[in-house]
Structure 1
């Protein structure tokens, strides 16, 4: 079995990894080349216990966050650490979050960039759709 190395994509962060939030400095400080505002279309944001969940929903709205480009020498370790933080086991649909490649619009110039996004895993997403609390406007810090 051959493991495919994931591409070095930027991360789209919308919760505790955003600048000024609790996990930003612990995981990202000194490990990024760029952090800039972005938005993810076709998703809604739900308030979870202590952190938000993006749930994919075509035509459902948008989620606001930051596009974070990791320094090349930090990338592989950062990817593993963020997977662990997000309780994401690649390939396991029972994970709290799943890491997916999605198009994110960079707000400064309107350019679409492919990025890693951690969205609610299928079980969590179904529960949130049934009885979760949506965050109007898709911006967690502004809630």
Structure 2
């Protein structure tokens, strides 16, 4: 199995409330990145990415050596239970502009979500950072 990095755009981003719970000590790198071909919608305390004509701000997270399997299982469990499905997509790493294949969690079809987050950046939407 190819170990792809993860593109995170909501509560798993560095400094957000689920980062330390699921990612702390399990990553080798966390770098700003952008996902094109998707729109970001507000959800019940966390955002949903949906394929569409847009751009989403987030971070590319690379698992630490030996942590990939456990990290993948943990993220699949928490994200799957919250209405997401994992898909492989190209993501642009901002430091060098390189397109990198990564796992992205998208809203499953039929998942109810809230208003569109203009600009595609969950952090810039305003409001509290904790649930």
Q: Same fold (TM over 0.5)?
A: yes
- 1:67-99 Cα offsets, whole Å, 9 max, x none, are 0000131110110001111126xxxxxx81110
Q: Distance in 2 between matches of 1:66 and 1:138?
A: 13
Looking at CA atoms only, which structure, 1 or 2, has the larger radius of gyration? Answer: 1
Q: Distance in 1 between matches of 2:5 and 2:124?
A: 23
Q: Residue in 1 aligned with 2:119?
A: 137
Gaps of at least 5 residues in structure 2 are: 126-131
Gaps of at least 5 residues in structure 1 are: 1-5, 89-94
Q: Residue in 2 aligned with 1:71?
A: 64
| Structure with bigger RCO (C-alpha 8 Å, 6+ apart) | 2
Structure 1 vs Structure 2 CA RMSD:
1.3
1:110 to 97, 101, 118: 97
Q: Distance in 1 between matches of 2:39 and 2:115?
A: 10
Q: Which runs of 4+ in 1 moved over 3 A?
A: none
Q: Report the count of equivalent residues.
A: 125
**Cα distance, 1:28 vs structure 2:** 0.8
Structure-2-length-normalised TM-score: 0.91
